[in-house]
């Protein structure tokens, strides 16, 4: 029969190795599961970016629609606005009136191409 002194430390080393092996197996399983989900996570990020792009496009279109709706309402209900539009398109002005035109293209800075 073996004494407790001989089996004690040896059993402790084997037990520690068994625990370490179990931890490594669990980590390997989690790693495999994580690797399987990486494509899904990337796809989710791409879809989220596409969704944000579409939401911003919807917001831009809603803003443009609101501006056009307001302009249409002014055209239908405000004769002074229609008069201003007509004079602007025909380049006419009232006596004593001064018109200042600002070119929107001149307001945007040109992109310089520096090598």
What are the boundaries of each domain within the chain? 11-92
When pLDDT is averaged across residues 18-43 and rounded to a whole number, the result is: 92
When pLDDT is averaged across residues 74-88 and rounded to a whole number, the result is: 90
The pLDDT assigned to 8 comes to 55
When pLDDT is averaged across residues 88-112 and rounded to a whole number, the result is: 76
Report whether 96 contacts 102 (CB < 8 A). no
Q: Residue 71: is its pLDDT beyond 90?
A: yes
pTM passes above 0.75: no
Q: Find the DSSP H helices in the chain.
A: 4-77, 79-90, 104-107
Q: What is the DSSP string of 27-54?
A: HHHHHHHHHHHHHHHHHHHHHHHHHHHH
State the first-to-last Cα distance of the chain, in angstroms, to the nearest integer. 88
When pLDDT is averaged across residues 36-56 and rounded to a whole number, the result is: 94
């Amino acid at each position: 029969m073996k004494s407790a002194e001989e089996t004690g430390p040896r059993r402790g080393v084997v037990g520690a190795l068994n625990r370490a092996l179990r931890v490594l197996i669990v980590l390997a399983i989690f790693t495999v599961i994580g690797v399987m989900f990486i494509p899904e996570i990337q796809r989710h990020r791409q879809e989220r970016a596409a969704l944000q792009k579409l939401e911003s496009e919807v917001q831009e279109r809603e803003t443009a629609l609101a501006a056009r709706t307001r302009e249409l309402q002014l055209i239908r209900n405000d004769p002074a606005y229609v008069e201003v539009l007509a004079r602007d398109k025909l380049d006419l002005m009232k006596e004593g009136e001064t018109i200042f035109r600002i070119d929107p293209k001149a307001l945007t800075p040109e992109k310089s191409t520096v090598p």
